[in-house]
Structure 1
Amino acid sequence: MVARQDWFAVRRALPRVNAAEAILADIQEGIREGSLGVGSRLPSETSLAEHYGVSRPVVREALRSAQALGLTRTRSGSGTYVVSDTLRPPQRFGNYTTRDLMEARPAIEVPAAGLAAARRSEEQAAELLDICVSMEHEFQAQAWVRLDSLFHARIAAASGNAVFSSVVADTREALSQQSEIINLVAHRREPSNVEHREIAEAILAEDPDRASRAMQAHLDYVEAVVRPLIEGE
């Protein structure tokens, strides 16, 4: 089944930053509105790039996100098809489920942040702030997710506790994948930037209680998004 052409017949203006997210939002709207029904085949990457006035890699990122949300599926040699009109994010990231990560992170990352505030070196504190600056100026979703996971890994390393550092390193890829889904579902990037900076500044100030509270608050916000995703596990 071919997608109804009237949806792509109208050129809608997209913001120049976060173009991939804007394309994803437009495709989601087409699915919700019914113009892109389940079974519809989307135009080719080349056609979509021309339609939206962006490069093919930007389109590819948008389609990758749509597939991560369970809305579409790309079939080799055939194209990209709408497979659901309901968000169906994955509930497993490598060896870990969404529930695993949600339950474990506060037990590891909250005390790690407190220890980091007490034990960090000047270089480690400066690096955390540098990562915050990079995240605040990064609009490419995949690059931001990589910085997000690096930030949490560096806090664990600064804690001086080898167990915390090892566990966060082991789960880093899963946390990156989950972070991507959270941002797609709840647009959490800007709020996360604020929360990350508060954590980093508490660590810079050598205030363990403040750092622990800031990390707990950050993870509470994450849980508010994640908890509905564990339904049906």
Structure 2
Amino acid sequence: MSAGAEWLSKTNPISRKSAAESVFEDLRQAIVSGRLAVGTRLPAETHLAEKYGVSRPIVREALRSLQTLGMTQTRTGSGTFVLTDQPSRELNYSGYSARDLIEARPFIEVPAAGWAALRRSPEQMTRILKLCDAMDAQEDPHKWVKLDSEFHSAIAEASGNSLFAKVVADARDSLSQQSELLNIMAHRRIASNVEHRLIAEAIAVGSGETARSAMEAHLGQVKQVVTSIIGEEQARV
């Protein structure tokens, strides 16, 4: 029996709370260790779902993160194949590189948070706080990423600056992909919830300076995790 067949034959049910993270990590380790060799075609989603005892969307989320890392590639009509046993140092999210987002976000979202503290309407503030509550309660990684995207878009809209709002909206898919990868690799969800709440509270009390500082701190944490994945040199080049 080959190493890949032996790996697949072993069932490995996992808890739903960290399902996508666990599936991703098990697949990644199987690839890195050589149990799933470069060139191997991964089993179908239904087979993987059965192996792990999870739903197909959970498997799909884990596979998306592997592909974002450049470790696998999905070919239409053929399946998903292992490309390399090492993560790519050139992460790309829907046309924007990890470096693009690291460099641009502080110049857009930090001032947007500051202006939101001064210009937001009561309705916009209510929405921002409700999104924080929803993220605190949400354990499904995919649904949380959607809320995260809405949170950052809501702040850009509350800034009253249509250019900030448009830029964040245009990059929304890329930001969601990055958020999904960071949460699945670095378990950032809970820490992000705390950081988001600090940003929202600063906006609620109308402190532009505190809101900017809170957003800057949040993006700094994101940069730190991204840099640990792609490497300090790649983040600068």
**What TM-score do you get using the length of structure 2 for normalisation?**
0.87
Any unmatched runs of 5+ in structure 1?
A: none
Tell me the CA shift for residue 3 of structure 1: 6.0
Question: Secondary structure in 1 aligned to 2:225?
Answer: helix
CA-CA distance at 1:103 after TM superposition = 1.5
1:89 Cα deviation (Å)? Answer: 6.3
* Residue 162 (structure 2) aligns with: 162
Structure 2 CA distance for aligned equivalents of residues 154 and 44 of structure 1: 38
Aligned: 1:193 with 2:193: yes
Query: Cα RMSD (Å) of the superposition?
Result: 2.2
Query: Which residue does the alignment assign to 2:234?
Result: 231
Report deviation, 1:199.
0.4
Structure 2: segments with no counterpart, 5+ residues? none
Q: What corresponds to 1:65 in structure 2?
A: 65
- Kindly state the Cα deviation for residue 14 of structure 1 after the two structures are TM-superposed: 0.8
Contact 1:3/1:41 (<8 A) preserved: no
Q: Secondary structure at the residue paired with 1:74?
A: strand
Letter of the aligned partner of 2:52 in structure 1? Y
**Superposition pairs for residues 24-35 of structure 1, below 5 Å?**
24-35=24-35
1:179 aligns with 2:179: yes
8 A Cα contact 2:89 2:234, kept in partner: no
Instruction: Assess if the C-alpha contact under 8 Å between 2:24 and 2:184 holds in 1.
Output: no
Q: Secondary structure at the match of 2:74?
A: strand
* Structure 1 residue 20, shift from structure 2 partner: 2.3
**Contact 1:121 / 1:158 at 8 angstroms: preserved in 2?**
yes
One-letter amino acid of the counterpart of residue 14, structure 2 = L
Q: Aligned runs of 1:1-233 on 2, under 5 Å?
A: 4-88=4-88, 91-227=91-227, 229=230, 231=234
Q: Note if contact 1:3-1:40 (Cα within 8 Å) is conserved in structure 2.
A: no
Q: CA deviation at 1:41?
A: 2.5
- What SS does the corresponding residue of 1:87 show, helix, strand or coil? coil
